Structure 1
Amino acid sequence: MDGILLLHKPAGITSRQCVSKVQRLLQTKKAGHTGTLDPGVTGVLTICLGKATKVVEYLTESDKAYQAVIALGTSTTTEDAEGEIVEKVELTKSQVNEMNIMSTLERFKGSMTQIPPLYSAVKVKGKRLYEYARQGIEVERPKRNIVIKDIELVEPLYDKDGQWMFTIDVTCSKGTYIRTLATDIGRALGVPAHMHSLIRTRSGPFLLQDCVTFATIEKGDYELTPLTKALEAWPVFVPSANLAEKIRNGAVLSKDLLPSFQERLIVEAESQEWIAIYRHHSEKEGMVKPEKIIVL
């Protein structure tokens, strides 16, 4: 079984558990997801099966999009609704208004440095940060560079269960912690905050509306997306028979033999039985080399 399953991940289960359940339902051994979602988070979980696992690394690198609800007035140990309360203040709507939120969000667009949450799976000296946190051990958390491609207020301030909240859409680079973004936005507004809820609406080229649930999978009502869908953003080239034979054998080539490209080029056999992913050679100027050859 080869292809990409677009799962609408439910809350209350880890991403790894989702993959294991898909493996059992579809009776397939080789599977992997392209970006972890916390247990409480729902939305697009892209699961590659069989030969499609060869493109996991490319989908992992792709941008993601989320819709997040941010709660003001309370901060937590985990930066989301699951943690213990660290700080709580009483707020009135006059303290934080819609215009203030919108102007603050604009400041978060672009490249920035982010420090991952204490309760996260980031490794420091061979251990996850959440392991240190549970033991009460303080360690220096590694900074990471992220990019917020777009951030937009989609639902202004509203009162829910005695908390002021607002909803944002975010498009960002891989490795971005939205719950940390939520607390940073609160800090910029001058109030404690945390991420109340989160849903991933896009992962690379794949959208939430194209996802299936476990219930529909169990009924057999699903389709696998071809692995080439994950690579569609890159240019495609179909070579002559002579050149195709060299490419299939993993030849390093002069860049003049292939069309000009920036990051990667998909070389596809005319018979569509295989594809090769070429990139510029890091050591030999003017040359390109295969990064991966996938027999379909």
Structure 2
Amino acid sequence: MPVREPGGPGINVDELMAVDVHTHVEVSKDGHGSLSPHLFGASEQYFGSHERPTIAEMAAYYRARRMAAVVFTVDAEHATGHPRISNQEIAESCAEHADVLIPFASVDPWKGRAGVREAVRLVTEHGVRGFKFHPAIQGFSPDDRMAYPLYEAIEELGAIALFHTGQTGIGAGVPGGAGIRLKYGNPMLVDDVAADFPNLKIILAHPSFPWQDEALAVAVHKPTVYIDLSGWSPKYFPPQLVRYANTLLKDKVLFGSDYPVISPDRWLADFDRLDIKPEVRPRILKDNAVRLLGLGS
């Protein structure tokens, strides 16, 4: 399948201080939220109140900090009944700010063949570089064969699959957790995906509480699996995550903030105090992502 050149015009890698591989679009141009008001209210109680910037505002924020950012939403229409933010809208808005923003998409795997067709179109016509999965919210196990046609298309397109792993704050405090099942966040469920699609580039998002050791094992064992550090302040990282980031996984750990829930400013300030080797810091903040995303090619 023909694929647009990676990276997008205008990104000057040499001028970047960092690449944030995990940011969320929480509101569309017409004001539609990525979560239902009920879930968003619960999320604010869990994470703290925060602004919901537009894509243009996100671009200005990252441009001022000499950073690039991967941008996406979550499509969980099947499980939640809440209409998603348009992937095409996000991709087109990112194209207007291609010096700092890198579009990812999210396609609910329950959409079957229609979802596969959409994924192909998003990559080939709109320059999307990867796809965000949130199995707990989308209501599926990552190793469910139902999702395999979508993984196959993403692998063939040369795009990236980014999976939420670990606990989620979405639904926390809501009766029954709003029906969200935490078991789908176990990184070992992604190990099957990595084994069955050996050329699929995968990011395990977040320190994977309570399955951190499982995430480390998968990333060490499977050559195409990476870990991003989003969603947590670095001062709370488990010691084994820091140890592996400094050693065996120094080329496979990525800076991610989870903006706007956690700001890059806060994350980086805490990262400065983390016991990371000086030669490893630039790999985590920028170099590993540049290589994975193909920004330097």
Query: TM-score interval w.r.t. the shorter chain?
Result: under 0.3
The structure carrying a bigger helix percent of its residues is 2
Normalised TM-score (structure 2): 0.25
The structure carrying a bigger strand percent of its residues is 1
Which of 1 and 2 has greater Rg?
A: 1
Normalised TM-score (structure 1): 0.25
